[in-house]
Amino acid sequence: MRVLFYDGFCNLCDASVQFILKHERDEQLSFCSLESHLGLTLMAHHPELKEIDAIILVDTEAETIHTASNAVIEISKHLRLPWSLVSLGGIAPFSLRETLYRFVAKNRYRVFGQKEACRLPNKQMRHRFLDTAQ
């Protein structure tokens, strides 16, 4: 299972999740907001992640955690063409990718705004969101 943890109050993050759902080729990703019970549990078990202002992709099968630009690269591998070509960004120097990611992450609320509360997924997609999948 691959779970994408995202900032549920961030308009950019929400739009990114919606983009992934629309362009995903294999439906292998599940989603969960960092503010949910599961997100808070992840942070409690991995305190080093609290310092990271980024999306987090957890692959439970491979027992790996990808953050920031590495998460973007991994997520893009699940998208249809041409969006999957973003994974080629993995050949760019890590420091360059991270600098760009950090710049966007730092300014996301100012540029894209934020929500008062996390948006609930529609009925057809609810099973893909772990914090609402009851």
For 80-120, the pLDDT digits (tens) are 999 999 999 999 999 999 999 999 999 999 999 987 766 66
Residue 21 lies in a domain: yes
pLDDT digits (tens, 9 = 90+) for 112-127: 998 776 666 677 778 8
Does 134 map to a domain? no
Considering only residues 74 and 46, tell me which one the structure prediction assigns the higher pLDDT.
Answer: 74
Domain for residue 118, yes or no? yes
- Determine, yes or no, domain membership for 66: yes
Residue 133 lies in a domain: no
Question: Rounded distance, CA 90 to CA 72, Å?
Answer: 9
- Does some domain include residue 59? yes
- The boundaries of the domain holding residue 22 are 2-128
Q: Specify the number of domains making up the chain.
A: 1
Higher-confidence position of 51 and 64: 64
For the entire predicted model, the pTM comes to 0.89
Residue 54 in any domain: the answer is: yes
Cβ neighbours of residue 39 under 8 Å, at least 6 residues apart? 5, 32, 33, 131
* Spatial distance between the Cα atoms of 6 and 16, rounded to a whole number of angstroms: 9
